[in-house]
Amino acid sequence: MNKAVTVLGIETSCDETAASIVRLSDEGVEILSDVIRTQVEEHAPYGGVVPEIAARAHADVADEVVALALKTSGLALSEIDAIAATSGPGLIGGVMVGMMTGKAIAMASGKPFVPINHLEGHALSPRLAEDCPFPYLLLLASGGHCQFIAVEGLGRYKRLGTTIDDAAGEAFDKLAKTLGIGFPGGAAVERLAKAGDATRFDLPRPLLSRPGLDLSFAGLKTAAARIVEAEELDDKARADLCASYQAAITDCLAEKTRRALKGFAADRTGAVRLVVAGGVAANQTIRSRLDEVARAFGARLIAPPLRHCTDNAAMIALAGAERMRAGLTPEDGLAFAARPRWPLDEASARTNPIYGGGKRGAKA
């Protein structure tokens, strides 16, 4: 029997300011509060996240968001066992705001501070909602990340493949920006794609014919931008372009997931689980293709509820709580320095230093 732990988690690595209180015990996970304040409106005029605006907006509301998370949990600070905050990777200004907020609360209350890798939060996020025992294969596909991770256990992650340039969500956002249909763009592209003909435009599927699990979306982005530049597109053509583009991304993700799952399943016995997380997991076309891929291996596809696919603090609090219970916390969390880059699998990042490029590569 292991002691229950209650952790306040803070997330500020991109464009959501979030705070949450999670209790972890032998009975499971209890989310006592889960506050997310998005900055979509602040960044919408620029068609993308502007780091300086993000950092300032986090600083403006961090205290308020933490106070609201405490209030809705019905707990006093004295009833919290530890403070966990995303301490990288991400847009460093925002990361610093959340981490310093967490450290200040930890110092003032004399509680441990647990620095959390944002990617570990995503990797553990399926465990917030359901019984999702280790090991499992994770496809993390969001605006900042696109990678396959074998989640073997707490703190034991093996990166199997990653985008060598842009993340899938970033590719969706870019097309939406080019077509002027909104930010963030994934949902807008999906909406238009519903009425489109996915075979109208012959778009590239980068790296698909090459072996391995790496992904690339930069060439696809450029090919679509050329089409938009070259001809005046009517509504039908715009819908067809969205559908063709979504199909290209879906094909790349599905085929690489198939390969990843094949290798993952071959290495072990017992039930195989595939988890998809990140904002792109909201896409129904992608989700149903991944479901087919999983079924072909007799595996189950687990997609956390959208609220916990996208950036949130419950996953950070859970990572903190799991680390507290396992005794996997640094001796002096307060001494931890924020990291703009912080690969989950440092060994693989060292042997493949080309990874991490792209506009938002700091997160990828």
Q: How far is the CB of 142 from ligand KG4 (least distance, A)?
A: 3
**Which of 88, 102, 185, 356 contacts ligand KG4 by CB under 6 A?**
185
* Strand partners for 5: 24
Q: How many other C-beta atoms can be found within 10 angstroms of the C-beta atom of residue 182? A: 17
- The answer to whether the CB of 9 falls within 8 A of the CB of 313 is yes
Which residue reads 């002691």 in tokens? Answer: 3
Binding-site member from 34, 165, 166, 190 for ligand KG4 (CB under 6 A)? 190
Q: Does 280 bind ligand KG4 (CB under 6 A)?
A: yes
Asked whether position 311 contacts ligand KG4 by CB under 6 A, the answer is yes
* Residue 176 or 260 having the CB closest to ligand KG4: 176
Residue 142 makes contact with ligand KG4 by CB under 6 A: yes
- Residue placing its CB nearer to ligand KG4 in the complex, 165 or 311: 311
The three-state secondary structure class of 165 is: coil
SS3 23: strand
Applying CB under 6 A, among 8, 14, 32, 318 the residue interacting with ligand KG4 is 14
The SS3 assignment for 65 reads helix
48 binds ligand KG4 (CB under 6 A): no
Nearest to 87 by CA among 173, 176, 190, 10: 10
**Interface positions with Zn ion (CB under 5 A):** 142, 311
* Choices 29-37, 183-191, 202-210, 226-234 (CB under 6 A): range interacting with ligand KG4: 183-191
Closest to 322 in 3D by CA, of 17, 22, 78: 22
Among 20, 73, 244, 283, binds ligand KG4 (CB under 6 A): 283
Q: Does 39 bind ligand KG4 (CB under 6 A)?
A: no
Residues 6+ apart with CB under 8 A from 10: 18, 19, 62, 66, 83, 84, 85, 86, 98, 99, 101, 102, 313, 316
Binding residues (CB under 6 A) for ligand KG4: these are 14, 142-144, 169-170, 172-173, 184-187, 190, 278-280, 282-283, 310-311
